Structure 1
């Protein structure tokens, strides 16, 4: 079966492309051309049966991902299904199953079966967990262990997979020789780095990359090229190791496109605000316009408990500067596994960042949404304001808590509502004209 990219190059507009075009209010040919060129990815595994496809990339609304998944401390998959529902209800465009607890296969299959949004996975997590159970240490993992998991997750319906292919010996040399404050903070990156250092061998994900592309092409999995050396603190941002890995990802992007495999490229991380735009522009140049998927970026290291805010601040600038896909950060980041409330807060904060960027980029539907809200506020039309709110549930709760049901204005100004007063005088003035 041909991939979305292969079909697009044949001039074929698929059903998935039509759905994306309708969502984005764009001509289907715009989506087809973007998929053919690699600047748009439509992530839809042939085995994810209840998926409503979404597009990620140039000219489209910025998309938002929510991470869920079990851990060794919380191995029960049921709460993760509840988080999936919360993420979708809050408006996430995708979820990633980052499970490392027991029953990883069962958890992933349940999430994919229940998800109407695209689902991403990180195969090395499962390969590491299973290797440790069988042989006691991640450094005992074999190429076969890794590739068996990649194939299984693809067959199960993962729409995109984060594969840490960009770390090779040259990148590792840059990391060791330059030094970092926090070294490696990516879990997948740490597994690969530890394996390479211990075994003194090349990264099998880099060495046997073409075999990964074979699997991705078979199931139409979008490969999300993981940034295993993303900076974990501001002091490590934009260093030689990060940029060397990015250079590799640019090469790997082209190799995937040659095989008709769709690509997203992952990026930082923790980045000082004044370096964000340069990071985005560098990625777009080096990776030939491939969709860029960033974690945050977080603009300060000192706000645990509020990292959904530090992430949203960086996310808006990142998206304005070229990022296409924002991975949420929750208030629990750096502190613990997020609960349902954390998931909701993370999605909403990241959606605000994405929408602000969409306005700055001039997307008509984003601008129209804000204008509709302004008109509803001018008219003191509370039901319409709640309907238009990005988070109607929270907006309604605040409205009910802070005001009496019969109040026309809000309790902030009460009888001295600026909108109401000026509206009355303007109306009177116009009647005199």
Structure 2
């Protein structure tokens, strides 16, 4: 029985209880959210590890990190270090996007090591193996796609990006829009090329019930992949994106009716004045399903700093109702990330998520800010470190201050000077 079906039957699962405890919420609230599709709890039935991660309405916004080997850099040891760095930095989940080397081994290592939910994109492996076995991606057979989905689920993957919201209607709409960047989703590009070359409908759309059967069997949370997301701000909210979102809404309704946990992936590159509209459209068309955003990048002109452009968009999107934010590293658009890039990406997106949680009135977030403010007023070093998103960096900076004097104010700290007259400090 999936989490959805258990919730609808009036049952409270151990996973619901853990999420409720972590979020400091009544478990009945979690049960109702899961039953209605507003909350998902990514946990494969076969996986024993569970961090208490819930995603959706009324919960704190979660942050996802990406790892994975590629044909250009197949270094499992580096990916293992990045896993450790990202988890230490506070990510709530991982996605293994491996496309090179021993893909199965990398995924299984991630699943055995990570203490948080792990996601994947099965079409990546199906496409790469089609090159090896059949000579090209367009020679891939539909059965290859479903075999990859089943294999990932059987290994214990907690959530999967499945690019099912792509069909010929969406492609025809794309061809008529005059986009600048056309298709930037890797899974979307693989499928678009396959469909146009073979003149066949997307098997993941055409046989969507089969996707649902696999997800239901293992209680894998389905993430409806955004195959048609805008790859630059100029393409945001164009007709192709909206067409794809409408198809996603239809698939979400089918998944929810089948008792499958489902969330929806979204863009991408979105200028600030489009953010709220983008989020509200998804929530309206997809029956309030959790929204998983790949960014959002608020501008296209900051290579090397895209963790910042993404955190700007992510904070606005979270405040507008997005539930799950994928980090972006400084290496985005330039190359593959290193360990420090991974840490910077996680921290930047955690800042965005926390700022959005404050805007949404989350009590836990407000309490954390309050505790930090109190620690600063009384120059409580350990408190400032404890309540920081990056305790190591905060400790290093405070240790360098010497006698706990503010580097800006010196001995006449403004907060301390006023506070002593209010009797706040000793």
- TM-score normalized by structure 2? 0.98
Q: CA deviation at 1:259?
A: 1.1
Q: Distance in 1 between matches of 2:47 and 2:77?
A: 20
- Contact 1:48–1:113 at 8 Å: present in 2 too? no
Q: Distance in 2 between matches of 1:90 and 1:118?
A: 15
Q: CA deviation at 1:55?
A: 0.4
Q: CA deviation at 1:195?
A: 0.6
Q: Secondary structure at the match of 1:411?
A: coil
Q: Does residue 408 of structure 2 align to residue 412 of structure 1?
A: yes
- Contact 2:398–2:404 at 8 Å: present in 1 too? no
Superposed CA offset, 1:33-75 (max 9, x none): 0000000000100122222231000000000000111111111
Q: CA deviation at 1:387?
A: 1.0
Q: Secondary structure at the match of 1:178?
A: coil
Q: CA deviation at 1:22?
A: 0.3
Which range is displaced more, 75-84 or 7-16? 75-84
Q: Secondary structure at the match of 1:86?
A: helix
Which range is displaced more, 78-87 or 300-309? 78-87
Task: State how 1:257-406 maps to structure 2 within 5 Å.
Answer: 257-401=256-400, 403-404=401-402
User: Could you tell me which residue of structure 2 aligns to residue 182 of structure 1?
Assistant: 181
User: Could you tell me which residue of structure 2 aligns to residue 88 of structure 1?
Assistant: 87
Pairwise CA RMSD:
1.2
Q: CA deviation at 1:409?
A: 2.1
Unaligned segments of structure 1, at least 5 residues: none
Q: Distance in 2 between matches of 1:114 and 1:236?
A: 39
Q: Secondary structure at the match of 1:290?
A: coil
Superposed CA offset, 1:157-189 (max 9, x none): 110000000010100000111121111111001
Q: Distance in 1 between matches of 2:222 and 2:216?
A: 10
Task: State how 1:121-200 maps to structure 2 within 5 Å.
Answer: 121-200=120-199
Q: Secondary structure at the match of 2:52?
A: coil
Q: Distance in 2 between matches of 1:116 and 1:372?
A: 27
Q: Does residue 61 of structure 2 align to residue 62 of structure 1?
A: yes
Q: Distance in 2 between matches of 1:427 and 1:62?
A: 38
Q: Secondary structure at the match of 2:94?
A: strand
Q: Does residue 14 of structure 2 align to residue 18 of structure 1?
A: no
Q: Distance in 2 between matches of 1:315 and 1:158?
A: 25
Q: Secondary structure at the match of 1:124?
A: helix
Superposed CA offset, 1:280-332 (max 9, x none): 00000000000000011100000000000000000011011110000000000
Q: CA deviation at 1:102?
A: 1.1
Q: Distance in 2 between matches of 1:63 and 1:156?
A: 24
Q: CA deviation at 1:400?
A: 2.3
- Contact 2:188–2:226 at 8 Å: present in 1 too? yes
Q: Distance in 1 between matches of 2:182 and 2:346?
A: 28
- Contact 1:44–1:53 at 8 Å: present in 2 too? no
Which range is displaced more, 120-129 or 80-89? 80-89
- Contact 2:279–2:322 at 8 Å: present in 1 too? yes
- Contact 1:53–1:118 at 8 Å: present in 2 too? no
Superposed CA offset, 1:373-398 (max 9, x none): 11111111111111111110111112
Q: Distance in 2 between matches of 1:179 and 1:70?
A: 34
User: Could you tell me which residue of structure 1 aligns to residue 419 of structure 2?
Assistant: 423
- Contact 2:180–2:235 at 8 Å: present in 1 too? yes
Q: Distance in 2 between matches of 1:118 and 1:426?
A: 48
Q: Secondary structure at the match of 1:293?
A: strand
